[in-house]
Amino acid sequence: MDKRVVLSGIITSLLIVSLVAYSLPAFAQGSNTVSGKPEVISASGIVPGKDLIVHIWAVVPPGKDKNEVAVAALAHQGARPLTGNEYTTIALRWDQFSDSNNSNDSVTQYYNSANVPTTVGVNGLTALQHTQKSWTDVTTSKYTINDGGSTSRCPSLVKECGGQTFDGFNDVGWLSLSSSTTLGVTWTGTNIDEADMALNTNFNWSTTGGNYDVETVFLHENGHVAGLGHSADINAIMYPSYQKINRVLQTDDINGITFLYPTSATSVTVDQINYSVKQKSLNTTVHVKAVASGNSISGASVTIQLNKGGVPYGGPTTGITDTNGNVKFVLRNAPSGTYTTAVKTISGSNILWDGNYPTTPFIK
């Protein structure tokens, strides 16, 4: 397994700030204050002495402490809470997306429909497939998770299946879990790439808007299957609390999966910013090229801010590079003075700007 920092400093929503004594991030701790209703939270733990991480959904009764319930639910799985530092070093990251073989860039997941609640039926598989497609369809990430078909296997890493062995399959099933407060679990390896999931048949599941929406839970759990931790963004799928039915990945979820498994983009840079004066107009030409090959990049959207005397002159302006990698910006009736150009953004199909550009001033 490729070990890499899973929680990025630039993706602050993925920071897990829990201490050893806490199974929940600090922003999710406290008592259940939802009047007369249970609250559903998510927490992560590790099994001492084993190559295993478990992610759980725990149902917190009204007035009960969320952290205490989460710790107890983890204990039922033989796990203790994870610290943020532990998660960044041992969380699952699928090796096949970082090797040189592009033909194996996928995770295959199997579904066992045995024990599926009657309120779910055949819609359980459909819900799972929808979540696989959601994580696969992130255009800025090369992560792919596919449906491998049906299986009769009990998800081998799930404690209630006995033994907790790595069998090489990523299975999803329905089981009567040992804790009465555990809605579902996902188990992943820390050194072996495998992920197994089970939802608790003792709860009232629904695919049409009932108490516990199957697709919402599958979508969150498949984020853990991908290797994501919890988010501080309350709108994100990976937020550690069941807020409402949510079947759509949010910006923070997309940023997280992109950070873990970015597409192979061409790194580009601005190597030249040239100025010329024609009559009273100041022409600023920006050239964009590939860092590795030096080839000019056409079709890139470039946004600049022209500065005069060290302060912005006018607003940001955007243009598209031509076949020679150049984009020209014209400032008509430009007054005399010292000008510089700040490149704000460069974007385009399968390119990634390195943030660099020349800062040489021009005196008109």
Write the burial class of residue 35 (CB in 10 Å: 0-12 exposed, 13-18 middle, 19+ buried): exposed
Q: What is the pLDDT of residues 150-205, one digit of tens each?
A: 999 999 999 999 989 999 999 999 999 989 999 999 999 999 999 999 999 999 99
Close Cβ partners of 26 (under 8 Å, ≥ 6 residues apart): 17, 18
| 72: amino acid identity, one letter | A
What's at 319, amino acid-wise? G
pLDDT bin (cut points 50, 70, 90) of residue 80 is very high
Residue 35: which pLDDT band, with cuts at 50, 70 and 90?
low
CB 207 within 8 A of CB 214: yes
Handedness of CA 44, 46, 51, 57 (dihedral sign): negative
CA dist 112 and 172 (Å) reads 6
Strands 195-200 and 182-189: antiparallel
Which tokens go with 23? 């199974």
| Domain 12-260 -> CATH class | alpha beta
pTM flag (> 0.75): no
pLDDT at 320: 96
Three-state secondary structure call for residue 90: helix
pLDDT tens, position by position, 218-258? 999 999 999 999 888 999 999 999 988 999 999 999 989 98
Where are the chain's structural domains?
12-260, 266-363
Q: Which of 167, 160, 170, 175 is nearest to 114 (CA)?
A: 175
pLDDT at 31 over 80: no
Any long-range contacts for 159-167 (C-beta under 8 Å, 24+ apart)? 159/54, 159/77, 159/78, 159/185, 159/187, 160/198, 161/198, 164/47, 164/50, 164/52, 166/51, 166/192, 166/194, 167/194
Please tell me what DSSP assigns to residue 183.
E
Rounded distance, CA 3 to CA 120, Å?
37
* Count of other CB atoms within 10 angstroms of residue 267: 11
∠ CA 317-320-324 to the nearest 5 degrees?
Answer: 130
* Alpha-carbon span 61 to 39, nearest angstrom: 7
> Residue 14: is its pLDDT beyond 70?
no
- Residue 91 is predicted with a pLDDT of 79
pLDDT tens digit sequence for 269-318 = 999 999 999 999 999 999 999 998 899 999 999 999 999 999 999 999 99
- The architecture (CATH level 2) of 266-363 comes to Sandwich (2.60)
Instruction: Output the DSSP codes for 3-49.
Output: ----S-TT-GGG-----TT-SS-GGG-SB--STTS-EEEEEEEE-TT
What does the angle CA 165 – CA 167 – CA 171 come to, to the nearest 5 degrees? 100
Strands (E) in 37-135, as ranges, are 39-46, 52-60, 80-81, 107-111
- pLDDT value at position 36? 67
